[in-house]
Amino acid sequence: MIKEKNDKIEIESKRIKNVKEQDEIILPTALQIEDEISRLKNRRDYIHILFNTIASLIVVAAIAVLISSFLLPVLRVTGTSMTPTLTNGTVVVCKRTTSLKRGDIVAFYYNNKVLLKRVIGLPGDYIEVRTDGTVLVNNEAIDEPYIDGPSYGENDLTYPYQVPEDRYFVMGDHRSTSVDSRSKTIGCVSEEEVLGKVKMAIWPIDKFKILK
């Protein structure tokens, strides 16, 4: 009888102990709390950056659509022939015109592609490119602060070369790699081939600029 009672007491004690163990609350350490706060902060920063990026893309897309609806072509630069003025991936806006002057950056059609180059010679001009890369127009060396550096480049013309009527002599700013009017492969650009004059770079945002 006494043994049976003692057994019941022991069973009840174990049950109470188990309940206490199950109900025990384990508090996180200070380090664990700091880690969780840091994780939440990083997540908040990521969401903030993501939101800003998406918002910027939406704004640029809206501007591009708006501009295109006013017949101003939006183009993406591919390649390095116009560096350092325009780098690979830059998005530019053109103005449809065939009224060009020396120094303008022009977009034109070539073999079902659109190329970007700078106008160097106007119809009737005499062009000479010397072996050191110096460019002369009508026997006068021109100032070219925009180029990557002088270079004879891919060149198979006989100089002095006269630009035909209704055509433009164009060259890339990265003279050593650009294939342009110095080569008979490209030749001079006719007015019919001209898409327009590049007016501004709009993307990336930190590269935004108005082009004269």
Q: Which residue reads 């998406």 in tokens?
A: 54
pLDDT band at 61 (very low <50, low <70, confident <90, very high): confident
Structural domain of 158: 71-210
Among residues 147, 197, 142, 207, the alpha carbon closest in space to that of 177 is found at 147
At 148, which CATH number? 2.10.109.10
Name the more confident of 6 and 140.
140
Q: Does a structural domain hold residue 48?
A: no
Q: Does a structural domain hold residue 103?
A: yes
Backbone angles phi, psi at 146, to 5 degrees: -85, -15
Q: Does a structural domain hold residue 4?
A: no
Q: Does a structural domain hold residue 1?
A: no
pTM of the predicted model, to two decimals? 0.68
Query: In angstroms, rounded to a whole number, what is the distance separating the alpha carbons of residues 63 and 40?
Result: 35
Q: CA–CA distance from 155 to each of 97, 110, 175, 178 (Å)?
A: 28, 18, 11, 10
Number of domains in the chain: 1
pLDDT in tens, 12-54: 555 555 544 444 556 667 777 677 777 777 777 778 777 777 8
Please give the positions annotated as active site. Answer: 81, 117
| Mean pLDDT confidence for 129-155 | 96
